Amino acid sequence: MKLAVIGTGYVGLVAGACLAETGNDVICVDKDEAKIRMLRRGKMPIFEPGLEELVRRNMAEQRLSFTSQLPRAIRASSVIFIAVGTPQGEDGAADLQHVLGVAREIAQAMNGYKLIVDKSTVPVGTAEKVREIIRRETTHPFSVVSNPEFLKQGAAVDDFLKPDRVVIGTEDEKGGEIMRQVYAPFTRTGAPIMVMDCASAELCKYAANALLATKISFMNEIANVCEVFEADVDQVRRAIGADRRIGPSFLFPGVGYGGSCFPKDVQAIVKFTADKGYDFQILKAVERVNHRQKSVLATRMEKHFGSLKGKTIAVWGLAFKPRTDDMREAPAIVLIERLLAAGAHVQAFDPAAMPIAKRLFGSTVTLTPRSYAALEGADALAVVTEWNEFREPDFAKMRRLMKTPVVFDGRNIYSRNVMRANGFTYYSIGR
């Protein structure tokens, strides 16, 4: 099939490369010309495991190409994926200007039947809005389907190639049929393709992210309660996770959720349901708990040191989660801003997010080329992102480098006994 993917971010680029991998001809479009130039040279604008190799292979096979010229891509394709950003607007609602703008551009470039696939995360009713815009601009036949994306940054390629399920919202047979063909190679091992109406499909994505965010905030509250009663959240987590109705995954307490999805999607569903008169109470609490949780490490440090003025704090992990360079809404940002405001000096390291951190913090934070360099002369270490390479460090070397051996572990990656045996003053979450 001839496909176009509009937007070459974490979703669009991964989708484009994976769709080319199954033999389709894919043109990826982005209005950011610098990004397109990089991609044409085989350089990735984002860090995502396995992506570079996949992109290069499919470019070499001439199945994957990049352009900033949207009309050309539309004319050459029969199926067009919209994967542009839907950032949070000022009132919490998803900002649809990119999606609706692209819909208009697609309509103006159409030269025959097109299937337009909404892959961006959008509020209920957006497929209908896209349909209206296209209807106004063209007399060519078309279908609009909703196809929310569930991939996880850090495992995006794998998730796209082996999805748990594919959700397709459609109001017409033809659109649904073509989408089944597009996804057939990714669902051979039995993952279901779930075809439904557009409103349900649009809501699926928000419901999934909202439930995951709820699990995180819930476990963070349980961890806080464990601290009040001197209980151990690891024991509690394992015990409740063994209940098949609950399950063991996504029950890890930490320093709150970040990223480009959970924070904005939770706020967007609260907003678009409020617009219909519904008061989404649980999600308002989820959001408040998360906001508070992002400050737990800084608060604990202030309590430990009395004052942070003049202290040197090492930070391991800046990305909002491991295996990505994305720092959007990252808990590390909240921590570092608090430390700087309190007069501390910050020395930070992340395996992938250093270029983004440099743009964000400039010279206000010392960014070190290696993890251990961040520890030199530090009064304490804060672990904010649970990258694998932080899990089994050389504790003796850490002690030698640090001024005082104090560790604030925001992800519970170390054993309390091991830390005690190695002479660290050790704080973690809910233990």
Joined together, the tokens standing for residue 14 give 């991964």
Is 16 one of the binding residues for ligand NAD (CB under 6 A)?
no
- Contact window for ligand NAD (CB under 6 A) among 84-92, 128-136, 275-283, 418-426: 84-92
Which lies closer to ligand NAD via its Cβ, residue 28 or residue 398? Answer: 28
Q: Is residue 261 annotated as a catalytic residue, yes or no? A: yes
**Does 29 help bind ligand NAD (rule: CB under 6 A)?**
yes
- The answer to the question of residue 98 lying near ligand NAD (CB under 6 A) is yes
351 binds ligand NAD (CB under 6 A): no
- 355 in contact with ligand NAD (CB under 6 A): no
DSSP assigned state of 140: S
Of residues 29 and 210, the one with the C-beta less far from ligand NAD = 29
Half-sphere exposure of 128 (CA within 13 A, CB side): 9
Among 8, 88, 290, 368, binds ligand NAD (CB under 6 A): 8
The residues in 226-285 that bind ligand NAD, with binding defined as CB under 6 A, are 260-261
Task: Please give the residue whose beta carbon sits closest to ligand NAD in the complex.
Answer: 9
Pick the closer one to ligand NAD by CB: 214 or 324.
324
Confirm or reject binding of residue 12 to ligand NAD (CB under 6 A): yes
Least distance (Å) from ligand NAD to the CB of residue 149?
Answer: 4
Pairing between β-strand 193-196 and β-strand 64-67 as defined by DSSP bridges: unpaired
Of 24, 58, 88, 121, the one binding ligand NAD (CB under 6 A) is 121
> Contact 39/14 with Cβ under 8 angstroms?
no
Smallest CA-to-CA distance from 147 within 173, 171, 177, 168 is with 168
HSE-CB at 233 with a 13 A cutoff on CA atoms is 22
Paired with 145 in beta bridges are: 117
**Residue corresponding to tokens 């350089």:** 43
The CA–CA distances, whole Å, from 117 to 93, 102, 206 equal 21, 12, 17
Q: Which residue stretch of 30-38, 131-139, 163-171, 377-385 sits at the interface with ligand NAD (rule: CB under 6 A)? A: 30-38
CB-neighbour burial class of residue 48 (10 A; exposed 0-12, middle 13-18, buried 19+): buried
**Contact (Cβ atoms closer than 8 angstroms) between residue 379 and residue 385:** no
Site string for ligand NAD, 141-180 (x = CB under 6 A): --------x-x-x---------------------------
User: By rule CB under 6 A, what string of x and - marks binding of each residue 357-396 to ligand NAD?
Assistant: ----------------------------------------
The total number of residues shown for the chain amounts to 431
76, 63 contact by CB (below 8 A) = no
Number of residues that bind ligand NAD (CB under 6 A): 26
Strands (E) located in 184-334: 193-196, 312-316
Contact 122, 131 (CB under 8 A): no
Smallest distance, Å, CB 32 to ligand NAD?
4
Q: Is residue 9 involved in binding ligand NAD (CB under 6 A)?
A: yes
Type and span of the H or E element at 276: none
Phi and psi at 397, nearest 5°, equal -65, -40
Q: Which 100-119 residues touch ligand NAD, going by CB under 6 A? A: 101-102
- Contacting range for ligand NAD; rule: CB under 6 A; set: 4-12, 171-179, 378-386, 417-425: 4-12
Please give the full DSSP string across 337-365, using - where no structure is assigned.
HHHHHTT-EEEEE-SS-HHHHHHHHTTSS
In the bound complex, what is the minimum distance in angstroms from residue 25's beta carbon to ligand NAD? 19
- Applying CB under 6 A, the residues found at the interface with ligand NAD are 6-12, 29-32, 35, 83-86, 98, 101-102, 120-121, 149, 151, 153, 260-261
Catalytic residue list: 261
